[in-house]
Amino acid sequence: MTNRVLLLTPPFTQLNTPYPATAYLKGYLNTLALSDGEPVVAHQADLGIETILSLFSKQGLTNLFAQASAVANLSQNSQRMLRLRADYVATIEPTIRFLQHRNPTLAHTIADRSYLPESSRFAEVDELDWAFGTMGLHDKARHLATLYLEDIGDLLAEAIDPHFGFSRYAERLGRTATHFDDLQASLTAPDTLVGQTLLHLLDQKMAQYQPTVVCLTVPFPGNLFGALLCGRHLKQHYPAVRVVLGGGYANTELRSLREPRLFDYVDFVSLDDGEAPLRSLLEHLRGKREATNLKRTFMRVDGQVVYQNGAIDRDVAQRDTGTPDYADLPLNNYLSVIEVTNPMHRLWSDGRWNKLTLAHGCYWGKCSFCDISLDYIARYEPLTAGLLCDRIETIMTQTGQNGFHFVDEAAPPALMRDLALEILRRGLTVVWWTNIRFEKAFTADLCQLLKLSGCIAVSGGLEVASDRLLERMKKGVTVAQVARVANHFTTAGIMVHAYLMYGFPTQTDQETIDSLEMVRQLFAIGVVQSGFWHRFAMTAHSPVGLHPAGFDVQRIGPIDGPFADNDLDHADPLGADHERFAEGLRKSLFNYMHGVGLEIPLASWFTFRVPPTTVPPDYIDEAIADTTEDLLRSHALVVWPGHAPTLAIVEPRRGRRSSTQGRSVPQAELTFARRQDDLVLDLPLTMGQWLMQYWPQFSQNAPVPLTLQQLRATFEQAGLGSFLAFQQTEGWADWRAAGLLVV
């Protein structure tokens, strides 16, 4: 019997783009033949976006308002919306089409605020108008349309389903759920309009694809309840179908699973990379493998949870996982929303991004706050630039979209360089962004190369912005280094987002204020354009969580239970009262991102007394000015992007002499055609002719670029003198100004 697998993303993740887990697994299943040679037929669906589109339709709102009308004691805001129900029902579908880029002219009437009904989410619009001063009409309209959806979402949450959220569903039930009782109570309660809509869509998928196995990916706590609703429905109405749960939530929260009631809703729980466990499970279901030889899989046996991991199969190498396959997903139905004016958060929610991974795991793998003990970080396995570009081209052909979000924990600089060169060699138009570590490998030249290949933004962890704490968390960077690297990216025209952290163990009041001053200076100078403060969270699989005493904190909860185990409560006796800083940090950063409040005293952001900063006012300026680390490595690649130059021989003008021992010397005039202008470089003729001869090896199209050491050798072998001496001349500076990159 053919294995028919349906891969489902339950509500809710993102409105603008599909979560990639099912596309990754479908790409692998496309390549798979089981041990008996039987292929696997795989399909996928994003029940999150489909549920949203069903709820936020004319019929969906009609049902919503009908049910809400029967609810007593609604807030004044919800009562106002009920009075405007006809306006909401009339405007919902045109507005959804507008957010799908199918109705662009509606921007005019949305932006002038004469079309959409407005409720509480619009209360601060007038105060935020300045934030859209540099944004276009469509951006402002999309922000207003997003507020309109959030108003409806507020009514839905108050009157129909308190668990509702656009990017999460019943997240509270899944977060730090050491016991299953609350989930069980909610799963046995009557279904709300959201649950009814979800399960109706699930029935449609079951009828369409008739799967024998359904896989539920649960990347976040806000997907768990929706997944278990699906599992409950499948158990009740499709008892022959086997249900598998996996994803990031299982990988981090369910590693010590002992709760048998979970298996009333699913048959198996898989951990870590899903390819090898799913293959072994499919073989088991075909009777070709014993249950004891499954891979990283929980199941219930005689009423008890058993972890089956007897398989000797290795995990599937990244090069063999296949190209992510987005077939079956409604790629043109996702919504481009603008929730907030944070530039990086806008990238998350605005536009369709193909998700792709450059490397499995993290090449650094040392940060003490990170889950470095788990496979998804600990096992580092990069792909080749050629294979990545093959996958990029395949995905662009399939989806019609050239935007990529590389979802690595931290993209490796050397691989980013090689990928950028391969993109340029192939002449691809790609727009991409990723997460990085602010390490010194990101030179000004490398950042320029990344920009040329289509990089528009990077995000990276500045974290606590304190050298003492950065060292303690083994981040491997300093604040000064972050400033220099951020400057390199910004100078290249690449937006920089800083992940910021407060509340790391032993962080004092003074260090918190000094960190804020570092952040203020970074925004004042303009080398960071976006940021977000996160409160430190101690997780069970991080070095801090595994060895809290080594970081001078104490684990104080939660009480161990048979279900989830990840987020840990802790006491920080040597640190500040971290929570009281939260609002001041948030408010100051919001203003800094918009160029406001950069000159006012730090104490103004807080309602309690804080110490003055000890950071010199020019600390970041001086860090950026320090170029002692800007040394060219001999094994770095030499690349001259752009078109080949043309050479013209220019004789010295009469009356002027360019002389060697009194003789007139003709010059080489090299003209580089660029998209915006032409650039002319004057060189001695012999040097110009040598440069033209070796141009194919300098070019971005060179299959094997020259290293700086090889360039030096060819330069000196051509009799052009000492290359080291040449590097001190204006001629070398002219080469660099003309576009020569050393990466």
Task: Give the helix ranges, DSSP H, for 573-640.
Answer: 582-593, 619-625
Q: How many CB atoms lie within 10 A of CB 119?
A: 21
Residue 699 per-residue DSSP state: B
Digit-coded pLDDT (tens) for 332-387: 999 999 876 677 877 878 889 999 999 999 999 999 999 999 998 999 999 999 99
Q: How many CB atoms lie within 10 A of CB 86?
A: 10
pLDDT of the residue at 347: 81
How many whole angstroms separate alpha carbon 624 and alpha carbon 609? 32
CA atoms in the 13 A half-sphere facing the CB of 74: 23
Look at residue 22 and give its three-state secondary structure: helix
Digit-coded pLDDT (tens) for 190-242: 999 999 999 999 999 999 999 999 999 999 999 999 999 999 999 999 999 99
- Please, what sign has the CA dihedral across residues 571, 576, 580, 586? negative
- Please state the pTM of the whole predicted model: 0.93
pLDDT of the residue at 83: 97
Residue 664 pLDDT more than 80? no
Cβ pair 272, 247 in contact under 8 A: no
For the domain 3-47+169-320, what is the CATH superfamily, name and number?
Response regulator (3.40.50.2300)
Cα torsion for 525, 527, 533, 535, to the nearest 10°?
Answer: -110
pLDDT of the residue at 416: 98
pLDDT of the residue at 574: 94
Look at residue 82 and give its three-state secondary structure: helix
pLDDT of the residue at 660: 43
Q: What values do phi and psi take at 678, rounded to 5?
A: -105, 145
Cβ pair 170, 163 in contact under 8 A: yes
Digit-coded pLDDT (tens) for 239-275: 999 999 999 999 999 999 999 999 999 999 999 999 9
- The mean pLDDT value for 646-661 works out to 66
Residue with tokens 């800094």: 592
Residue 184 pLDDT more than 80? yes
Percent of the chain with pLDDT over 70: 97
How many whole angstroms separate alpha carbon 250 and alpha carbon 298? 10
Q: How would you classify the pairing of strands 403-406 and 354-356? A: parallel
How many whole angstroms separate alpha carbon 650 and alpha carbon 685? 9
Residue 636 pLDDT more than 60? yes
Q: Chain-centre distance of CA 181, in angstroms?
A: 33
Comparing 321-335, 610-624, 643-657, the range with the smallest average pLDDT is 643-657
- With a CB cutoff of 8 Å and minimum separation 6, the contacts of 192 are 160, 161, 163
Residue 96 pLDDT more than 70? yes
- Sheet with 268-270, strands from edge to edge, namely 40-46, 3-9, 213-217, 242-246, 268-270, 297-301, 304-308
**Which residues on adjacent β-strands are paired with residue 570?**
555
- The mean pLDDT value for 54-74 works out to 97
Omega of the bond prior to 98 within 30 degrees of 0, cis?
no
How many whole angstroms separate alpha carbon 276 and alpha carbon 585? 44
The CATH code for residues 353-625 is 3.20.20
**Which residues on adjacent β-strands are paired with residue 555?**
570
Exposure class string for 615-635: b at 16+ Cβ within 10 A, else e: beeebbeebbeeeeeeeeeee
What amino acid is encoded at 281 in this protein? L
Domains 3-47+169-320 and 353-625 share a fold: no
Q: pLDDT category, 135, cuts 50, 70, 90?
A: low
Residue 609 pLDDT more than 60? yes
Q: pLDDT category, 531, cuts 50, 70, 90?
A: very high
Look at residue 516 and give its three-state secondary structure: helix
Residue 322 pLDDT more than 50? yes
How many whole angstroms separate alpha carbon 293 and alpha carbon 438? 43
- The mean pLDDT value for 445-472 works out to 96
- With a CB cutoff of 8 Å and minimum separation 6, the contacts of 436 are 410, 411, 413, 416, 442, 458, 459, 460
How many whole angstroms separate alpha carbon 453 and alpha carbon 430? 7
- With a CB cutoff of 8 Å and minimum separation 6, the contacts of 173 are 163, 182, 183, 186, 221, 224, 225
Comparing 134-143, 199-208, 501-510, 635-644, the range with the smallest average pLDDT is 134-143
Q: How many CB atoms lie within 10 A of CB 684?
A: 16
Comparing 105-109, 279-283, 410-414, 695-699, the range with the smallest average pLDDT is 695-699
Omega of the bond prior to 239 within 30 degrees of 0, cis?
no
How many whole angstroms separate alpha carbon 325 and alpha carbon 22? 8
How many whole angstroms separate alpha carbon 456 and alpha carbon 497? 11
How many whole angstroms separate alpha carbon 613 and alpha carbon 632? 36
Q: pLDDT category, 476, cuts 50, 70, 90?
A: very high
Domain extent listing, the chain: 3-47+169-320, 353-625, 638-742
Cβ pair 460, 437 in contact under 8 A: yes
What amino acid is encoded at 211 in this protein? P
Q: Chain-centre distance of CA 38, in angstroms?
A: 36
pLDDT of the residue at 560: 87
How many whole angstroms separate alpha carbon 122 and alpha carbon 131? 14
Residue 717 pLDDT more than 50? yes
- Please, what sign has the CA dihedral across residues 9, 13, 18, 19? negative
User: Across the chain, what does the average pLDDT equal?
Assistant: 93
pLDDT of the residue at 344: 81
How many whole angstroms separate alpha carbon 205 and alpha carbon 382? 35
Percent of the chain with pLDDT over 90: 81
- The mean pLDDT value for 406-429 works out to 96
Helical (H) or strand (E) element with 434: strand 431-436
Using CA atoms, how far residue 463 sits from 341, 470, 497, 542, 689, in Å, is: 21, 8, 11, 16, 51
Using H for helix, E for strand and C for coil, what is the string for 108-143?
HHHHCCCCCCCCHHHCCHHHHHHHHCCCCHHHHHHH
